[in-house]
Amino acid sequence: MKLKTAPDLQQPTTNAPASAAEAENPAGLQESEFKRAEEASRVNEARFRSAFGFAPHGMALVSPAGRFLQVNRFLCQMLGYSETELLELRFQDISHADELDASLTGIKELLNGRIQLFEIQKKYLHKDGHTVWAHVRSNLLRDGAGEPLYFVSHVQDITQRKQAEEALRQSEERYFRLVELSHDGILIHSQGRLLFLNPAAAKIIGANSPEEMIGKNVLDLVHPDSRPMVEERIRQLSQGATFQPSLRQKLVKLDGTEVNVESAGVPFAFKGQPAIQVIFRDVTEITRAEEEKNRLFREVEAARDELRSLSRRLVQVQELERRRIARELHDEIGQELTALRLNIEQGAAAAGEAAHASCREAQARVNKLLGLVRELSLDLRPTMLDDLGLLPALIWQFDRYAALSQIKVQFKHLGLEGRRFSPEIETAAYRIVQEAMTNVLRHSRAKDVNITVWISDQNQTLAIQIADDGAGFDVEASFQAGKSSGLSGMRERAALLGGRFMVQSVPGEGTTVTAELPLEANEQRSGLPAS
């Protein structure tokens, strides 16, 4: 269809006299100007039709009554109608009722000349029935007399944007519903000013309502002790950090009292502007409980240290008493028994044959008693341990053990030659080996025992391992039944020196006992150089 166009503008008149050429041929000049104007009009119309047809959005020419006069392909595709179908309709026929009154009001404003451009976001009804959101911009073209010709409407499909906005709105609605019900405090701040608080946050800081805090400086709530840390976290979040993990800090409530909180922060967009969201909870009672627990723990540790010190002292006293008794058995009782044996020998030489047999029997009993005293003295405290050190005492112990049993002992050592350790280390190591060997002899029915003693961990630890091929046992059940006083004693000796004690055993597969005794601390405690 050919559009009605407004008449061309007339050239302004003037009282100046025409030139001689104009006076001679005025009709030819007017005809030339008319042809040029007509050509320009055709060019402009062609340009308009091209822009109209290939526009990247919907376009329509609409009569003052609302009927579509011309539509482009984009609008047809957007609404699902063919061009022929749309030209049979008015915009009112496909407009959603929600915005129809607003559209009609805008049209009237254009017709009345009160506005030059009308814009609206409205819903159209697609041919298949679903809703199409559009942003519509319309202006009115008039003829030379000022009468309305038609509306030129630009229609942009914003359905996806509206769907995204609706999804965002629903998400925000769900978010704020959850935030309102949360027991954790949640606040949002931007550039240091509070923008939002949920009821839980207001309660934690002692505000009557969230609204009371809006616009206030968030740092005013932070305790001075925590402020440098909080300022640094805010700076990092503002410069691109994606998350600040939970940590403990102090806040100052509105009444001036302190509250301990655990908080975490994330970057957040609030009403289109960058902000920071902070989630926090009151942990004052938890902090007090932890402080009380730590206090009790320190008291228990102090009591344990004192008990450990007393136990160490008890072991030292026991060893000193063992040493004293061993010396008395060896020196006093041994000497007396030796003298008694000499007296019996002298009496037997002077007595007759009848008394000689009784003297020999008495002499045998004294010899046996001397042997028992010697063995008891060595079990209590071998003088070799004090005089020569750990390695000679162990070698002597294994030779003595082999003589008393049929068990084959294999002994390996590393780093012990010519070295003395603190008395505590030497005594504990000797007693652990002695007790383990006694257990093997009494309970294991083993044929072979492998004993290894070495310096490990860069000269920091004395390690001991005793492994046998005997009957084995259930370690856990033995400890629970209280049948492992020997093992408990070994473990206690290691623990008193800050060491470790381990037992590995399976019934029928033998037993391995391992002890690790730290050297440096114990040698420094005893006054020996750590070597």
Domain boundaries, the chain: 30-158, 182-282, 307-381, 388-526
% of the chain surpassing 90 pLDDT: 47
pLDDT for residue 18 is more than 70: no
Taking residues 328-351, what's their average pLDDT? 63
Residue 258, pLDDT score:
94
**Chain segment 411-431, per-residue pLDDT in tens:** 999 989 888 999 889 988 988
Residue 453, pLDDT score:
94
For 258-315, the DSSP string reads: EEEEEEEEEEEEETTEEEEEEEEEE-HHHHHHHHHHHHHHHHHHHHHHHHHHHHHHHH
Rounded to whole angstroms, the Cα distance separating 279 from 480 reads 48
**Alpha carbon of 62 to those of 6, 58, 67, 474: distances in Å?**
17, 13, 5, 98
**Chain segment 505-520, per-residue pLDDT in tens:** 988 889 999 999 998 7
**Chain segment 60-91, per-residue pLDDT in tens:** 999 999 999 999 999 999 999 999 999 999 99
Amino acid type, 475:
V
Residue 230, pLDDT score:
93
**Alpha carbon of 483 to those of 273, 476, 489, 517: distances in Å?**
73, 10, 12, 25
Taking residues 401-408, what's their average pLDDT? 82
Run of H or E including 393: helix 390-404
Hunting for tokens 């949002």 — which residue is that?
188
116: three-class secondary structure by DSSP: coil
Taking residues 423-447, what's their average pLDDT? 88
How would residue 224 be classed by pLDDT, with cut points 50, 70 and 90?
very high
Q: What is the DSSP secondary structure assignment for residue 90, as one 8-state letter?
A: B
Question: Which has the higher per-residue pLDDT, 54 or 414?
Answer: 414
**Chain segment 486-502, per-residue pLDDT in tens:** 788 888 888 888 899 99
Which fold would CATH assign to domain 182-282?
A: Beta-Lactamase (3.30.450)
What's the sign of the alpha-carbon dihedral 291, 294, 299, 302? negative
How would residue 381 be classed by pLDDT, with cut points 50, 70 and 90?
low
Hunting for tokens 């699902």 — which residue is that?
80
**Homologous superfamily of 30-158 in CATH?**
PAS domain (3.30.450.20)
**Chain segment 247-305, per-residue pLDDT in tens:** 899 999 999 999 999 999 999 888 888 999 999 999 999 989 988 999 999 888 888 77
How would residue 380 be classed by pLDDT, with cut points 50, 70 and 90?
low
- CATH level 2 (architecture), domain 388-526: 2-Layer Sandwich (3.30)
Q: Rg of the chain over CA atoms, in angstroms?
A: 53
Residue 186, pLDDT score:
94
Q: Ramachandran region of residue 215, left (φ > 0), alpha (ψ -120 to 50) or beta?
A: left
Q: Ramachandran region of residue 49, left (φ > 0), alpha (ψ -120 to 50) or beta?
A: alpha
Task: Please give the model's pTM, rounded to 2 decimal places.
Answer: 0.43
Please state, rounded to an integer, the average pLDDT across all residues of the chain. Answer: 82
Amino acid type, 279:
I
Instruction: For residue 245, give both structure tokens.
Output: 């993990």
Amino acid type, 495:
A
pLDDT for residue 366 is more than 90: no
Rounded to whole angstroms, the Cα distance separating 334 from 369 reads 9
Q: Does the fold of domain 182-282 match that of domain 30-158?
A: yes
Residue 340, pLDDT score:
67
Rounded to whole angstroms, the Cα distance separating 64 from 111 reads 8
Rounded to whole angstroms, the Cα distance separating 254 from 399 reads 81
pLDDT for residue 49 is more than 80: no
Burial class of residue 115 (count of CB atoms within 10 Å of its CB; 0-12, 13-18, 19+) = middle
pLDDT for residue 13 is more than 50: no
pLDDT for residue 111 is more than 80: yes
